[in-house]
Structure 1
Amino acid sequence: MPKLNETELKQRIAQGQLANIFFLYGQEDFFVSKYAKEIIDKVVAKQFESFNLNWFHGDKLSLDELEDAIESLPMMADRKCVVVQNLDIDGLSKSDYEKLNELLKSPNEMTVVVFFANKIQYDVKKSSRVKTFLNFVQKDGIVCEFTIKDKSTLKRELCSRAKKESVELDMPIAEYFIDRCSMNYGILIKELDKLIHYVKGMNQGFEITKKAIDLCCIPTIESNAFKLSNAIVQKNYEKAFLLLDELFYQRQEPLAILGALDMCFYDLYRAKVAIESGKTAEEVQSDFGYSPTRSFAIRNAFRDARASSTVQIRRYINILAETDYKLKSSKADQQLLLEQMIAKMI
């Protein structure tokens, strides 16, 4: 069977066109879990779950027990379901990997096997074993990868979800919300639900504003690091130190802060060199393999690159490298080292 997208998988589940094997994975763990549950619910009636639903966790998987579960017959039903959650395919021994492949060659027709990964990520490009296994499953089963949705889709879905709760969220505010919190739909939904309860409880006209987002939603380290790098480039001393204080208040590790800043200035350097070479943001994104979750980063870098010279950006990167060495080799106070770094950069 061909690899399905989310729409095709949703349609198959709704129509009851289920394969014997499913493999669901991807960056959007919210949807991985959602559709795994829908498949399970379609196969197994609630009152018979104790008989017809077997659940295995990848780190504790016994191939013998999995085989018994797959081969055993359902009770008081036409089908049963066997679930394998977060299987580390690369971590399997050679014998277990071969046994798993052999086991899935001709599974019991009354058993639907669902593999889903909502806590681990598979790198199909780098892992030949994962790629081979997915191709194997795809021959007779269904494989579906849930990639991060683009920002336009996320904005529409967030605005629509807010509207269903009689709360107004316009598109520019939705974009600000995404930039502050995440491109991950699961995280955004949790934060949006929090915002909806907040504006309703505060009786603020049932409208989500930037102020409400700033009050209720904790920004990602990447979001604050981008603002911090921008403040450094703009020579805004006060804003830079306020943002650094906010990161420390969130109990972010100094090395994590430095790592996020590194990414921002590498993005800036790539954008600057690309502009000088007549390259576009799309070309840089493709050449350097930026994931969909970071496409905004290179666009922002192109926007801000003109504020600094190439020489200046190289100086920033050298200071970051020096601070990285000090953090890893010195016993000096790490917060102080980062503060000194900001002062030197500005």
Structure 2
Amino acid sequence: MKPEEFNRAVDQGEIAPLYLLYGEEPYLVERAVKKLMDRLVDPGFRDFNLNVFYGNECKGDEVFSAAQTLPMFADRRVVLVKKGGDLPAAAQEILLGYIQDPSPSTTLILQAEKVDGRKKFFADFKKKGEWVEFKRPYENQLGPYVRDEVRAAGKRIDGAAAELLGYLVGNNLQELVSQIEKLCIYCGKKEQITIEDVKAIVSDTKVESVFEFTDALGSKDLPKALRLLTTLLQDGEAPLKVLGGVARHYRQLWQVRELMDRKVPSSELAKAAGINPYFLKKVTDQARNYQVGELKLVFKRMLELDQAFKSGGIEDALFERFVIDTCRK
């Protein structure tokens, strides 16, 4: 079951007895769990009709017993197992019997980040229940995601403003939703959110500095890039997070550079690269600073830098050397 199918079914009251909600994006998984809980359990009766367990701590018999218990003053009981992918083998063995014949008055929810689908318990669960995987959106999906979130909040957002917000914040959905909430509050009764509104809200955050830093790198402006890097690191920004922003930016530059080398007309570049036209001139100007061979070398250096950070290298000095090499003309 796809996430959109899950949302539609829950909205229509089509509830299954077994759900596995999992994926690499914890915000979306948590939101899906909340959606089910809000639909199924009256807040006033949660003490009676909601049981919460943790897969790495619980025993199969206590989950089994809770799932078999009839709801009180309600039509349905919810049994939630967080960290469901960590259920011990003994617990999985006990619960195999339950998933073959689940109680019609209980919804059993397993919440997990990763699941080993090769194990019999999860393989059988997939056959009998609903599996919903929540993936972290790709960068080119952030604009549509922002527009959907803003629409759900009762407002509209310019296409370029949605792309800018996604670009500045990245695919950390918790942070992205937080910024959308700030935008809606900032705009008050105004229905349309613009680029100016996004800049006004995000400009004071660290992501704006990362945005400026990647632009300085792409432009091969060494003094500005070093100055911004120093500021970011002194302000406590994690070097790996900054490197992630750099990698995102250079993937875009590489894509545009290849399209330009293939003589794709300027009028078609934005669509072909999946870039909002608002940003196209800046990206193409920076892409002209590099040949594809140079970009390959930049990515090789980024990989080396990533490995050095993870092995405990001296981050500031290594990052400065990377900036100097990248900005070399």
Same fold (TM over 0.5): yes
Counterpart contact for 1:200–1:206, Cα < 8 Å: no
The corresponding residue for 1:97 is 92
1: distance between equivalents of 2:309 and 2:129? 50
Cα deviation, residue 111, structure 1: 1.7
- Is 1:86 matched up with 2:83? yes
Q: Deviations over 1:310-336 (max 9, x none)?
A: 4433554565567668767898x6423
Task: Please name the residue that 2:294 is paired with.
Answer: 312
- Structure 2 residue aligned with 1:240: 225
Residue of 154, 158, 177 corresponding to 2:145: 154
Runs (5+) with no aligned partner, structure 1: 280-294
Q: Counterparts in 2 of 1:31-42, with a 5 A limit? A: 31-42=28-39
Partner of residue 285, structure 1? none
Q: Which moved more, 1:75-84 or 1:192-201?
A: 192-201
Whole-angstrom CA distance in 2 between matches of 1:36 and 1:65: 21
Matched with 2:270 is none
**Distance in structure 2 (CA, Å) of the matches to 1:260 and 1:71:** 49
User: Is the Cα–Cα contact under 8 Å of residues 181 and 188 in structure 1 kept in the other structure?
Assistant: yes
Inter-partner Cα distance in structure 2 for 1:16 and 1:323: 50
How high is the TM-score relative to the length of structure 1?
Answer: 0.69
Is residue 173 of structure 1 aligned with residue 161 of structure 2?
Answer: yes
Count residues with an aligned counterpart. 308
**Does the Cα contact within 8 Å between 2:157 and 2:193 map onto a contact in 1?**
no
CA displacement at 1:21 relative to structure 2: 0.9
Cα distance in structure 2, aligned partners of 1:19 and 1:257: 42
Per the alignment, residue 271 of structure 2 pairs with none
Identify the match of residue 75 of structure 1 among 72, 77, 86.
72
2:42 counterpart of 1:45: yes
**Post-superposition CA distance 1:143-197 (Å, at most 9, x none):** 2233455345224324435654xxx742212211111013354432211222333
Shift of 1:272: 5.8
Instruction: Give 1:55's match in structure 2, choosing from 52, 55, 61.
Output: 52
The Cα RMSD (Å) is: 4.2
Q: Please state how far the C-alpha of 1:342 moved relative to its aligned partner.
A: 2.0
Give the structure 1 partner of residue 9 of structure 2.
12
Unaligned runs of 5+ in 2: 265-273
Relative to structure 1, is the Cα distance of residues 137 and 250 closer, same or farther in structure 2, using a 3 angstrom cutoff? Answer: farther
The match for 1:342 is: 323
> Which letter maps to 2:54?
H
Distance 1:219 1:175 in 2: 14
In the alignment, does 2:105 pair up with 1:110?
yes
Once the two structures are TM-superposed, the CA of residue 210 in structure 1 deviates from its matched residue by 4.3
In 2, distance between residues paired with 1:143 and 1:328?
34
Equivalent position SS for 1:59: coil
Q: Deviations over 1:257-304 (max 9, x none)?
A: 45654665577668767877999xxxxxxxxxxxxxxx87xx99x955
CA contact (8 A) 2:40 2:76 kept: yes
SS in structure 2 at match of 1:219: helix
CA distance in 2, matches of 1:46, 1:326: 49
Cα distance change of structure 1 residues 146 and 95 upon mapping to structure 2, 3 Å threshold: same
Change (3 A) 1:66 1:182: same
TM-score by structure 2 length?
A: 0.72
Show the counterpart of 1:289. none
Q: Does 1:219 align with 2:204?
A: no
- Separation of aligned partners in 2, 1:80 and 1:154: 32
On the 8 A contact 2:183/2:197 being kept in 1, the answer is no
Q: Is the 8 A contact 2:3 2:132 kept in 1?
A: yes
Which secondary structure does the structure 1 equivalent of 2:109 belong to?
strand
Alpha-carbon distance in structure 1 between the residues aligned to 2:242 and 2:8: 43
Deviation string 1:238-264 (CA, Å, 9 cap, x unpaired) is 331233134214413345545654665
User: Using the alignment, how far apart are the partners of 2:65 and 2:109 within structure 1?
Assistant: 15
